[in-house]
Chains A and B, each alone.
Chain A
């Protein structure tokens, strides 16, 4: 049973455009929703995270939007740059649990110059 569903699988965006990646979760006990960025041959790096008590969090060009009633959250990358080309993973967890993250399958983003 896939607990976190991520879409699209791949995304091509022109430089300067907005990249949008969506995730949906099933377990209403989840209370921590991070996004990770992974470059080829590297480990995932935490990009930005949100907790369900807020509907939006912004850090620089990266914004998470969170819809608790729909059990959905999304990552928006404004003014996308070629250096943003990477694979992005959403994840979810229960902070009071043993701490393991449940990951989506990833979105491969390509930003064309």
Chain B
């Protein structure tokens, strides 16, 4: 039973480029959460999605960031026109239950570096 998959594991972008981060939840999980971890910081919630729906995006920056979780395929976190401050580790977690805070399984993360 494969865990949460994230790719790429490392991503380097130049300022102004777009970054696309993918997350495939565990089999049978239909809920995905994205978190951002800045160096020496804890994880900060960004967005919670179910299939084809954004449930809570209260942690998402208002501009340049978007997320989707289509009916088929992985969840995508998209960052447009990246800036150096976007450099961080981005983790997704998946859950099989609504409001499943106690059943969130984290992926290995994507480490984004903006040059």
The answer to whether the Cβ of B100 comes within 8 Å of any Cβ in the partner chain is yes
Q: Which of B42, B45, B55 contacts A89 (CB 8 A)?
A: B42
Tier of interface size on chain B: 20 to 34
A49–B102 touching, CB < 8 Å: yes
Q: Which chain A residues in 59-113 approach chain B with CB under 8 Å?
A: 89, 93, 95-106
> Of B42, B43, B44, B99, which is within 8 A of A99 by CB?
B99
A52 within 8 A of B: no
Say whether A41 contacts B108, CB under 8 Å: yes
Is B55 a contact partner of A43 (Cβ separation < 8 A)?
Answer: no
B99 lies within 8 A of A95 (CB): yes
19 pairs across A/B with beta carbons < 8 Å? A32-B102, A34-B101, A41-B108, A43-B109, A44-B91, A89-B43, A93-B101, A95-B99, A97-B99, A98-B99, A99-B56, A99-B95, A100-B48, A100-B58, A101-B43, A101-B101, A102-B45, A103-B43, A106-B41
